[in-house]
Amino acid sequence: MTAEVIIESLRSLGSPEKARHLSRFFKTSPGDYGEGDQFLGVIVPHTRLVAKANKETSYEELQKLIDMPWHEARLCALLILVLRYKSRKTSVSERELIYHFYIKNARRCNNWDLVDLSCRDIVGEYLVDKDRSVLYEWADSENIWEQRIAIVSTWAFIHRSDFKDTLAIATLLFGSKQDLIHKAVGWMLREVEKQDRATLTDFLEENISRMPRTTLRYAIEHYPENERLEFLHKK
């Protein structure tokens, strides 16, 4: 399937009213994190349907989608990659191609939903049994989306009870000035808590003085109220 056919399918499912709403929701005004992003007004479930119907699209056509200004075009391409990566029919070599295609285009994942709906199932899963130094490079990047990919990708490790990289990358991102990064770090720390509360508690005790308050609030969301209040008081 061609990029042009896919974009027309998306366009037919969108609406100007929804596009205006999404532009506000994803902060596209000058100076905001999503500055310049453009929307067709397609909701995510409908974009998923288009992706599922076109999951055999070539890399050449996927690149065209990723290079388009439309948010939903980039999301559709990323969802196609996720579907292909997760398929039982996909070979090891094909998953490697998908991973490298993804990291080549990482900066085109330029809004939080594009990152969150794709990186853990591609980058995270690919790196489960491999060198993870690229995540530390991204954590040290000045690009907010590479930073968010770095921490959210560790979701795949957390759910295998492997917390080392999540905690290490979290500390690297404490100094970020971006609220989107503070929230993402807190989210991943909360995922650690779901697997092993003692590990997170020890980490919080050691790092609470350096941790942004937003990160802390997200991380302790599922603690009992008295423990949440105690951590917030320490902060």
Q: Domain end: 127, 142, 173, which one?
A: 127
If asked whether residues 90 and 47 sit together in one domain, one would say yes
Question: Which residue, among 105, 35, 29, 31, has the nearest Cα to 73 in the 3D structure?
Answer: 105
Question: Which residue, among 154, 163, 152, has the nearest Cα to 193 in the 3D structure?
Answer: 163
- CATH number of the domain enclosing 182: 1.25.10.90
If asked whether residues 120 and 8 sit together in one domain, one would say yes
If asked whether residues 160 and 217 sit together in one domain, one would say yes
If asked whether residues 45 and 111 sit together in one domain, one would say yes
Owning domain of residue 147 = 131-235
Residue % of the chain over a pLDDT of 70? 100
If asked whether residues 11 and 70 sit together in one domain, one would say yes
**Cα 107 from Cα 149, distance rounded (Å):** 10
**Cα 168 from Cα 171, distance rounded (Å):** 5
- Global pTM value: 0.94
If asked whether residues 162 and 85 sit together in one domain, one would say no
Give per-residue burial for 89-120: e unless 16+ CB within 10 Å, then b.
eeeeeebeebbebbbebbebbbbbbbbbbbbb
If asked whether residues 7 and 61 sit together in one domain, one would say yes
pLDDT for 164-195, tens place per residue? 999 999 999 999 999 999 999 999 999 999 99
Q: Domain end: 101, 127, 153, which one?
A: 127
Q: What is the DSSP letter of 123?
A: I
Q: Domain end: 127, 156, 174, which one?
A: 127
Beta bridge partners of 70: 38
If asked whether residues 112 and 156 sit together in one domain, one would say no
If asked whether residues 88 and 195 sit together in one domain, one would say no
Q: Is a pLDDT exceeding 80 seen at residue 20?
A: yes
If asked whether residues 22 and 113 sit together in one domain, one would say yes
